[in-house]
Amino acid sequence: MLNKLFRQSDVPPQYRANFIHLYFDIGWFGLLSGSSVNFLNVYAARLGATAFQIGLLGSVGAVVSLFLAIPAGRWLEKRAVGKAVFWTAAIYRIGFALWIPLPWLFGAQDQIWALILIALMMGIPLTGVAVGFNALFASSVPQQYRAHVAGMRNVVLSIMFMFSSVLSGYLLNHLPFPTGYQVVFAIGFFGAVMSTVHLYFIRPLQADLPSAPAPDSISSAASSRRDWRSVLRLEIWKTDYRRSLLVLLGFHVTQYLAIPLFSIYMVHNLRLTDDHIGIGTALFYLAMLFGSMQLRHIVQRLGHKTVTAYGVMGMALYPILMALSSQVWHFYGYSLLGGFVWALVGGAYANYLLENIPDHDRPAHLAWYNMVLNASVLFGSLAGPAIADGIGIGAALIVFGVLRLFAGAAILKWG
C-alpha cells in the first residue's frame, strides 16, 4: 500500500518536483507540529494558564486575520502566489524562535502573556500564508492529483508527527522544566525553517495561471475598486459558494469550541505526563497514517464533500470519549479513533472547498474562507472555555461533540 502511495512513476515528470517539495514541506512542518505546536498549550497549562488564557492563545491570531484576510486576498491577486506564500511563511515562522528564550526572561504568568503577544504578532504574516497556501496548492497540483497529493502529505505529516511527538515527550520527561520545553521549541523552529525552504521551490503550473484581463476590463476594474463592496467582494456571497462557507463555519466553530479544553483536561483531569501526551499524539498520527493511505480510494468512491461530512461526524467521538475517560489507555484509544477520522477530514475538506472555487479567482474566495475560519477560531476559542466554566469541562466536551455531529450532517445535506 505504501509503495502505491509513494509511487511517482504514475505522475507526469512536469509535476514531480512540485509534489516532492510539497511532501518535504509538510514533513518538516510535521516536525514543527509534533514538537513546538503540539506541546505549546501543555506548556502554558503547566505554567498555570487558565482555560481562558489558553483560548486567548489560540484566538488572538484569528482576530488579526479577521481584519486582514480580505486585504490579503487583494494583495495576493497582484502577486506571484508562490513568492508571496514563501515570504509570509518565512516572516511568520520567525515567531517560533521567540518561544525559546522566554523562560530566561520572564516568570510563569509573564511567559503566558508573552506567548499570547507573540501569537498576536504572528497572526499578521500568517494571514498571507493561510489565504495563499490553498491557492498555491491548487495552482501547483492538477485537480486529478489533488486527492493523491493530499493523502500523501497526510502520510508524511503523520510519520514526522509521530516521530517528533514521541521524541518530545521523551525529552520533556528526562530534561528539567522548563529546559525540556526550550529544547522542544528549538527542534520545532528547525522544522519551521526547513519547511519554509521547500515552499520556495513550489511553482504554479503555467497552464493553471489565470489569464490576464481584457484591456477594456482593466479600467472598469480600477473604477470599481473605489466601491467598498467591490473591495470586500460581497458578490461571492451571492454564489453557491456561500453554502460551502456556511457549513464550514459550523464545522470550524464546533472544532474550536473543544480544542482549548483538551490540554486542560489532559493535564488537570486525566493527569497525563508529557510522555503520555507524546505517545497519545503519536497514536493519533499513526491512525491518521493508515486513514490517509485509504483516502484516495474513499474519495474516488464517495467524493470530497461526503468524506468531509462523515469525517466531521466521526470527530464528534473524540471530545465525548475524552469526557468519559479516566485512564491513560482510554486516551490512547480515542487518540487512534480521532486520528483516523481526521485523516478523512483533513485530506478532503480543502479539496471540497477548492471544487467550489473558480480557478481564476482563488485568492478572493479563499480570503472569505479564511475570514470564516478565523471567526470560528475566535468565537470557539473564547466561548468554549466560558461554557466549560459554566457547566463543567466534561459536560462541555459532550455538548461540543454532539454539535460536531450536527455540523457533519449539515455539510452532507446543504454543503
Instruction: Summarize pLDDT for 323-369 with one digit per residue, the tens.
Output: 999 888 999 999 999 999 998 998 888 889 888 888 777 777 888 88
Assess if residue 229 is contained within a domain.
no
- In this predicted structure, the answer to whether residue 208 has a pLDDT above a threshold of 60 is no
Assess if residue 133 is contained within a domain.
yes
Q: How far apart, in whole angstroms, are the C-alpha atoms of residue 383 and residue 84?
A: 33
Question: Which residue type, as a one-letter code, is found at position 307?
Answer: V
State the cell numbers at 307. Answer: 468524506
pLDDT band at 237 (very low <50, low <70, confident <90, very high): confident
State the cell numbers at 83. Answer: 513568492
Mean pLDDT over 163-183 rounds to 91
- What are the pLDDT digits (tens) for 105-116? 999 999 999 999
State the cell numbers at 110. Answer: 509573564
- Tell me, what's the pLDDT at 72? 77
Are the C-beta atoms of 393 and 304 separated by less than 8 Å?
A: no
- Tell me, what's the pLDDT at 11? 67
N- to C-terminal Cα distance for the chain? 32
Question: Which residue type, as a one-letter code, is found at position 335?
Answer: S
Assess if residue 3 is contained within a domain.
no
Q: How far apart, in whole angstroms, are the C-alpha atoms of residue 47 and residue 45?
A: 5
- In this predicted structure, the answer to whether residue 308 has a pLDDT above a threshold of 70 is yes
Are the C-beta atoms of 36 and 100 separated by less than 8 Å?
A: no
Q: What are the CA-CA distances from residue 310 to residues 147, 152, 298, 318, 405 (Å)?
A: 17, 20, 11, 14, 9
Where residue 367 sits, what CATH number does that domain have?
1.20.1250.20
Report the domain count for the chain: 1
- In this predicted structure, the answer to whether residue 158 has a pLDDT above a threshold of 50 is yes
- In this predicted structure, the answer to whether residue 8 has a pLDDT above a threshold of 70 is no
Q: How far apart, in whole angstroms, are the C-alpha atoms of residue 31 and residue 340?
A: 20
Q: How far apart, in whole angstroms, are the C-alpha atoms of residue 163 and residue 170?
A: 11
Q: How far apart, in whole angstroms, are the C-alpha atoms of residue 57 and residue 226?
A: 36
- What are the pLDDT digits (tens) for 386-413? 999 999 999 999 999 999 999 999 999 9
Assess if residue 6 is contained within a domain.
no
Assess if residue 221 is contained within a domain.
no
Q: What are the CA-CA distances from residue 253 to residues 257, 318, 374, 406 (Å)?
A: 6, 15, 9, 12
- Tell me, what's the pLDDT at 2? 43
Torsional class of 303: left (φ above 0), alpha (ψ -120 to 50), beta (otherwise): left
Note down the domain range covering 301.
15-205+236-414
Please give the share of the chain, as a percent, with pLDDT higher than 70: 91
Assess if residue 9 is contained within a domain.
no
Q: Which has the minimum average pLDDT: 160-174, 226-240, 242-256? A: 226-240
Assess if residue 73 is contained within a domain.
yes
pLDDT band at 162 (very low <50, low <70, confident <90, very high): confident
- In this predicted structure, the answer to whether residue 6 has a pLDDT above a threshold of 70 is no
- In this predicted structure, the answer to whether residue 206 has a pLDDT above a threshold of 70 is no
Q: Which of 153-157, 236-240, 398-402 has the highest mean pLDDT?
A: 398-402
Assess if residue 1 is contained within a domain.
no
Q: How far apart, in whole angstroms, are the C-alpha atoms of residue 177 and residue 188?
A: 17
Q: Which has the minimum average pLDDT: 131-140, 165-174, 201-210? A: 201-210
